[in-house]
Amino acid sequence: MKLVRYGQAGQEKPGLIDAQGQVRDLSTYVADIDGAALSPETLQQLAAIDPATLPAVPGPVRYGPPVTRIGKIICVGLNYADHAAETNSPIPAEPIIFMKPTSSIIGPNDTVVIPRGSVKTDWEVELGVVIGKKASYVGEDEALDYVAGYTVINDVSEREYQLERGGTWDKGKGCDTFSPIGPWMVTRDEVVDPQNLSMWLDVNGKRYQNGSTRTMIFTVSKLVSYISEFMSLLPGDIISTGTPPGVGLGQKPPVYVQAGDTMRLSIQGLGEQQQATRAWSRELA
């Protein structure tokens, strides 16, 4: 099942994508796609609905983030062996964890704003893991039971802020518009193996990232279990699980996003995003 939120920013409605790719309205069944709607019981009820009985939504539609009222975005750094190699970083002994603020969240095709003064805005296609029920000190063997589904995330990053401005990575990761999420959330039952998904990202039509979740250092199961040792994962929380090689920082010489560029990215079975970029301005902030 592919769950979406569609409509103008701040006014999105819940929906699903039927087998023909048509958006169907779910408003009579759930108020929105949030933590409550992601419980195993509610997802089971939604899966039992015949999509043909739901109102069809005329297109084109804007997709918002597929989940709302996200409590936190927990990100994992250097989680792909080949990405660690391209950045000349050692393989982490344990997952590197940092957070992105929810104020960075936008829809999958919304405009990414290059921060004021930025010269090193970068891209990262990542598998997003959406939590469906509270996870605290869960074992690795049961960790996937706490996952509601999966989505695509572009972990947009400002490398100067992240690496050259002191302190933790958060300054380079949390700028407004730096977390495009979607277009939809695919429920866990439809993703047979989250560790065998191809993924790619293009900038202005040039393929920079072309990888697979097979090269993750720490699997989805490991990450859910590990993170739940340090904080409770709550329904609607999202784990952004790291990126394969091909980021702008790893190019020789480095390549960064400029105003007017276009990023396209996708993960196998989870849909595609596309973001235009523009420079920050006070008038449009």
**Residue 255 resides in a domain:** yes
- First-to-last alpha carbon distance for the chain, in angstroms, is 36
Q: Judge if 43 and 89 occupy the same domain.
A: no
Q: Judge if 141 and 245 occupy the same domain.
A: yes
Positive or negative, the Cα torsion across 103, 109, 111, 117?
A: positive
Q: Judge if 108 and 209 occupy the same domain.
A: yes
Residue 272, phi then psi, degrees to nearest 5: -130, 145
Q: Judge if 108 and 33 occupy the same domain.
A: no
**Residue 65 resides in a domain:** no
Structure tokens at 225: 């279990």
Question: Under DSSP, is residue 253 helix (H, G, I), strand (E, B) or coil?
Answer: coil
pLDDT digit string, tens, across residues 232-256: 999 999 999 999 999 999 999 999 9
Q: Judge if 123 and 210 occupy the same domain.
A: yes
pLDDT digit string, tens, across residues 8-50: 999 999 999 999 999 999 999 999 999 999 999 999 999 999 9
The CATH number of the domain holding residue 129 is: 3.90.850.10
**Residue 66 resides in a domain:** no
Q: Judge if 98 and 211 occupy the same domain.
A: yes
Q: Judge if 94 and 21 occupy the same domain.
A: no
pLDDT digit string, tens, across residues 166-224: 888 889 999 999 999 999 999 999 999 999 999 999 999 999 999 999 999 999 999 99
Number of domains in the chain: 2
Q: Judge if 205 and 149 occupy the same domain.
A: yes
Q: How many CA atoms lie within 13 A of 56 on its CB side?
A: 9
- What distance in Å separates the CA atoms of residue 189 and residue 180, rounded to the nearest whole number? 24
Domain that holds residue 14: 2-53
- What distance in Å separates the CA atoms of residue 173 and residue 170, rounded to the nearest whole number? 5
pLDDT digit string, tens, across residues 99-154: 999 999 999 999 999 999 999 999 999 999 999 999 999 999 999 999 999 999 99
**Residue 59 resides in a domain:** no
